[in-house]
Amino acid sequence: MNDDKPVSVDLTTPPKSFTAFKPVGHIVIGLPDDETAERSREALKEAGFTQMQNIASADMQINMAQMLDVASGSAEFGHEIVQMRKYLAMSAEGYGWLIVPASGNEAAQRIVSTVQPLGARIAVHYGLLLIEDLL
């Protein structure tokens, strides 16, 4: 189950590494549209994951574009920048987003098991040193 700590991801002041988006301890989930993201949010709440952030496609697109504009050259060496470009492209296609805290591998697998049948197309788990594609 998820604990009751507040969600630490805020796109107005996003967590970063070398100016690249990196929400450590969270899974970023992309779904075909904002409505599917909302249905997935409800399913996750029913599964006990109460703390998450739902980000509309337009908001994710704007924020990823802004972060990419100011990303440092050293960010180009990491997987974070690749993911940011993917999020930007998917947002332009209308994908909706959830950012869900995941305390470990078991929680991450439960989250993915919940959202995959609802249409999740991407799920990326951000660890301190490892960024793992779960779908």
Domain boundaries along the sequence of the chain: 21-133
- For 21-133, CATH gives 3.30.70
Tokens of 28: 């970023």
CB atoms within 10 A of CB 24: 15
pLDDT of residue 7: 43
Tokens of 53: 């952030």
Model pTM score = 0.86
Distance from C-alpha of 96 to C-alpha of 134, rounded to nearest angstrom: 17
Helix residue ranges per DSSP H, 28-122: 34-46, 57-70, 79-92, 105-115
pLDDT of residue 72: 66
Query: How far, in Å, are 47, 110, 115, 129 from residue 56 at the CA level?
Result: 22, 23, 17, 28
Enumerate the β-bridge partners of residue 131. 126
Enumerate the β-bridge partners of residue 125. 27, 132
Rg (CA), the chain: 14
Residue 28, phi then psi, degrees to nearest 5: -100, 120
**pLDDT digits (tens), the chain, 135 positions:** 444 443 445 555 445 455 578 889 999 999 999 999 999 999 999 999 999 999 999 999 999 998 888 876 665 667 888 899 999 999 999 999 999 999 889 999 999 999 999 999 999 999 888 899 999
Tokens of 65: 């574009």
- The greatest distance separating any two alpha carbons of the chain, rounded to the nearest whole angstrom, comes to 42
